[in-house]
Amino acid sequence: MSEPFRTRTDGGRTLVHDPVRRKWVALTPEEGVRQRLLADLLRLGYPVGLLAVERGVVFGGRTWRADVVAYGRDQRPLLLAECKAPGVPIDQTTFDQLARYNAVLDAPVLVVDNGAARYCCVRTASGWDFVDAVPRFGAG
């Protein structure tokens, strides 16, 4: 299966072209997960100009980096995603990390992905519900 992103080798390192940051970055295991998620978001209609990668989030006096943030046309956060390397378990700690970031960003769609499993939650009137797939851009 071919990857949904462009790669090249430079000095023995494999690099991937990030369409959001518009630059070549090291293809680490976590970066591969992030790039697959970005490719899926683009296929789902999320405009590249409304995506941010490793966006700084200030929480508890520290700056953290959210892996992927998708914004709506109104410039408000629409989707927040946390990517982990394959083999890194998705557990309560991962969801707690996402909740900390979302306390600042207030995105109605949350995604956690480690390449083997992808979980997506959407905000409802009564809380959060897991859904089978990431919603298309503008779907709700």
- CATH number (domain holding residue 19): 3.90.1570.30
Q: Does residue 1 belong to any structural domain of this protein?
A: no
Domain count, the chain: 1
Q: Give the list of residues 6+ apart from residue 21 with CB closer than 8 angstroms, or none.
A: 53
Q: Does residue 92 belong to any structural domain of this protein?
A: yes
Q: Does residue 24 belong to any structural domain of this protein?
A: yes
Q: Which of 55-59, 62-66, 88-92 is least confident?
A: 55-59
Q: Does residue 81 belong to any structural domain of this protein?
A: yes
Q: Is the dihedral of CA 3, 102, 134, 113 positive or negative?
A: positive
Whole-angstrom Cα distance, residue 100 to residue 96? Answer: 6
Q: Which amino acid is at 126?
A: S
pLDDT at 2: 61
pLDDT at 140: 62
Q: Does residue 2 belong to any structural domain of this protein?
A: no
Domain span including residue 94: 7-131
Q: Does residue 139 belong to any structural domain of this protein?
A: no
Reported as a single tens digit per residue, the pLDDT across 27-44 is 999 999 999 999 999 999
Q: Is the dihedral of CA 64, 69, 74, 75 positive or negative?
A: positive
Q: What is the average per-residue pLDDT within 16-20?
A: 95
Q: Does residue 137 belong to any structural domain of this protein?
A: no
Q: Does residue 138 belong to any structural domain of this protein?
A: no
pLDDT tier, 130 (very low <50, low <70, confident <90, very high otherwise): very high
Whole-angstrom Cα distance, residue 90 to residue 83? Answer: 9
